[in-house]
Chain A
Amino acid sequence: MTRQIELCLTLYALSAEYTTGRFTLEDCLKKAHEMGYTGIEMVASQMIPEYPHPSGEWMDTFILLMEKYKLTPVCYSAYIDMGTHSDRDLNENEIIQSTIDDMCYAKYMGFQLVRTQHAISPKIFKNMKPYAEKIGIKLAIEMHHPHNPEVPEWKEYLKIMKDSEGWLGVVPDFSIFAEHPHKLNIIQAVEDYGCRREKVDEIIKKHGSYIKKEMLLAGDYTEAEKKFIEDVYSTYGKAHFEWLDMVLPYTMYIHGKFWYLGEDEIDTTIPCDKLLPIIKKSGFTGFMASEYEGHHYNDKLDSCEQLQRWINMSNRILEKC
């Protein structure tokens, strides 16, 4: 670590290039290195052909690629695919099995932590602490929208993390601080769903003025526009900066989520200008990922250009505070 907050690339940010075959896994790693990232996150279910059980041969090749591009394997992103079965949710033994497996693979490949998900349940999460300690790998739950530290289950999780001697923690995702719809969301509403542009602008303006959703829904809007209203109100809202204070003591890694940055390199959706100084002042030491997610809305944008803008923005903010 050369800096207090080191930038990491989640390869998920390059999903548009990767899923269309424009970038291979190695191309993604080469790009991460060229852009100056020192660490990477891998979404296992995206990159491992033999998922959920990578072969030794595949893992050995991955280790060589990390060395070749001088990258630190930071986060192995695992899932709790609760709905895998068509007729029931995963049971406790299945969740434990997949979590231990993921911790073993991640350790073999040299990752610092495994990112798991909220569905692990407080009971199982707590019981994973001895495994984390003995295997020597941290286990962290991602806190992603629509969750936040005030959700009852999360209060329990934060308590377990507090008592875990540093083995169990959280990965806050900036989606929980999203305030306003981003440009790609707006383009999609108009071009793909047929919402009228002036109505979309009106909805965003009213949402930004804290007009109640029910009042908007009673207005003169088409079905598509009403869906857009629901989408906006469920996804964006005033950022609760105090949530950051609640999670930072147990934060092992950060998902710097973003969907679109313009040429001015300012995020108008997520208030990074306020979030990053809070993180820096807290004394957090570790990796923060650039998590570009515009690919869910538009596969034509150049993800690398978006990432570069985000790097520039983050460096600018972090240098000033």
Chain B
Amino acid sequence: MAQFQAYNKLLISQNEEILNYKVGEYTLGYVIHCQYPSYRGTYLSCIESMNVYVDGEEIPEEKIYFNLNGKQFLLKQFQDLYKEYWFILNKAKLLILVDGGLKQGSRHNIEIKMSHKIPYTGYFGSYLVLAGDDKKTLEVKGEVNTL
């Protein structure tokens, strides 16, 4: 309760909406932009879990490729990424694999549930672990050919 909670709405970025990811003539999936919900950045190793829901359906984690700092990770790899810093102004791109992407102009309910540890909070032994949850309705507005 209380501290940090006003930042949660940063997690799903509204500005970029949803972009299909097209490779040649094939659309591999679509991209959602995410910002770390706090006043400062963090190491990806501090993200304890991340679940993504689109129109109420959970996306299997193997279908989510997390792009940051010019690199790409699977969510399962976060625990080892103690040197990978998620700067507060750098938006991560979540590529979600779905054959053909999403229909241009369609709107979708996106929800991300994220559990993240605040690594400097062990005042009396235990760390603060926060729920950084956000929900937004985004529109499919265009496509990209690179990530």
Which positions in A face B, CB cutoff 8 Å? 12, 15-16, 18-21, 43, 45-46, 48-49, 51-52, 79-87, 89, 117-119, 146-147, 185, 188, 192-193, 227-228, 231, 235, 295-299
Contacts and interface: CB of A to CB of B under 8 A. Distances in A.
Contacts of B117: 83
A43 to B, nearest CB: 6
B45 A86 contact: yes
A303 B36 CA distance: 21
B2 A83 contact: no
Contact of A79 (B4, B120, B123): B120
B11 to A, nearest CB: 11
Contacts, number: 98
A45 B6 contact: no
B65 interface: no
Contacts of A52: 85
Contacts of A20: 10
A188 B89 contact: no
Contact of B39 (A15, A80, A82): A15
Interface of B: 1-7, 9-10, 35, 38-41, 43, 45-46, 48, 78-80, 82, 85, 87-90, 117-124, 127
8 contacts: A19-B7, A45-B41, A83-B119, A84-B82, A86-B46, A118-B123, A296-B6, A296-B7
Contact of A82 (B79, B87, B88, B122): B122
Contacts of A81: 43, 119-120
Given A80-B120, A81-B119, A21 B41 contact: no
A49 B87 contact: yes
B46 A84 contact: yes
Contacts of A15: 39
A185 B82 contact: no
Contacts of B124: 146
A85 B82 contact: yes
Contacts of A84: 43, 45-46, 82, 119
Contacts of A185: 2
Nearest to A119: B122
A201 B42 CA distance: 36
Contacts of A21: 89
B73 to A, nearest CB: 14
Given A82-B119, A85-B45, A51 B5 contact: no
A311 to B, nearest CB: 21
B1 A227 contact: yes
Nearest to B79: A86
A51 B39 contact: no
Contacts of A118: 123
Nearest to B118: A83
Given A51-B41, A83-B122, A297 B85 contact: no
A51 B85 contact: yes
A117 B89 CA distance: 24
B120 A82 contact: yes
A70 to B, nearest CB: 26
Nearest to A20: B10
B128 to A, nearest CB: 9
A83 B5 contact: no
A77 to B, nearest CB: 9
A85 to B, nearest CB: 5
Given A86-B45, A117-B120, A228 B10 contact: no
Given A19-B89, A82-B119, A146-B124, A45 B3 contact: no
9 shortest interchain CB distances as A-B pairs: A83-B119, A81-B119, A15-B39, A86-B79, A46-B40, A45-B40, A296-B3, A83-B127, A79-B120
A46 B88 contact: yes
A235 B123 CA distance: 14
A307 to B, nearest CB: 16
A193 B1 contact: yes
A99 B112 CA distance: 35
Nearest to A300: B6
